Structure 1
């Protein structure tokens, strides 16, 4: 009887070792912010995951602090973010509970820009032309990373043009008005943004290197996501969207399309690439 019992236990142990270690969940909870760079990244990655067999639930947040808090607590599993610049403080504060999954785009850049017809090319040329610019730099919302860095630029270059706080909408309207009249204007601008393409502006060089270099976008996750979801992680890691394509999608939205349609147009025109992303083999 003891021999039979030992044999049965051994057989049971062998059977248990043959069971899969962990069944991967088929629902992914994804966070995003309603910004013109993050919305296309989120929409395209969502489609690729859905076509690979996952259900994707997206939660939209109003600002980074809330999004990172939700990710750190596990209320969402993944979030696209610029961990080295725009959201660096939030990443540094929470990174012990987070992980980087994969890069998904690169080229975020913020700085001072002028229309291409303005014959200057460097920040250190602004003072000599201050009156032509109406004696001011047209800014956006106070508290943004771009405004913080531009404040440092004004100090570093001892600029005679004060930085004027406002809103993105007001800055865009001022830029359009100036371009329509072929007037001089210097404003805080970033890529990817439809306005940088629509109004044919150029970034002024920054000899002192106050503005950061172009930055990357990453999919980040709640710690343990990649280990628990190896196939989803591989699918997400296959997705990469050029920054110029993000700009083009936002230009299409500005011209009247919905973001969902712009994303669909992009995925339709990259069908072969999307298929390769979707067909990542399961581990």
Structure 2
């Protein structure tokens, strides 16, 4: 009887593990990131907490505890989601090294996205979990109400990480036409953070701006996972959040697949 292949032999599993292990090679960078997360978390928490207090103890459906959860869960996710632009694919397209990637018997898109997701998953350990612990101890942040909510929150978090890196991959493929795509990355950084809920909950936006935000994949990267993880939404509403995230993940992966195929036909090796 033929045995099933081991996951360790699957090349795509190895890309995920390689990203995880590669990020573990920079412990001081992780420590510096945690210090930055804690510092800005305290500043942001003070500002947002004051806003809730000035509004009479509730602001756009947020209490002091749920606003603290928004702040500290967001800080914990910063090392895992790509809201900053920049991708290894951009460099490889500019140098022409991506031509070598296309010669390999694996999907270029899957290789890059899985490697980036692996890096994001590792960052949850030295940056994400300690940031959340700080929020629990210092700010009394809200937590999911049940074990099932924890499990769904974790699923939402994983999808959010995948959406962010798959979206950045699609953005990076513009390099097949532009060659130098750093300007696009800077624009992505400005827009993604704003609409993802990096600075403030998107529910504080005016109605028209909230509608615009919800028509983008960015809330699925941070705001929606935070809603589920903090217990801000539960039951059917939480499942709806996860469903929206899943649809956006499929959409950005589809766009990345199409732009990769088109870019491969247009590819020019630029030297390097």
TM interval, shorter chain, is under 0.3
Please, what TM-score do these two structures have when normalized by structure 1? Answer: 0.26
The structure whose residues are more often strand, as a share, is 1
Please, what TM-score do these two structures have when normalized by structure 2? Answer: 0.27
The structure whose residues are more often helix, as a share, is 2
Greater Cα radius of gyration, structure 1 or 2:
1
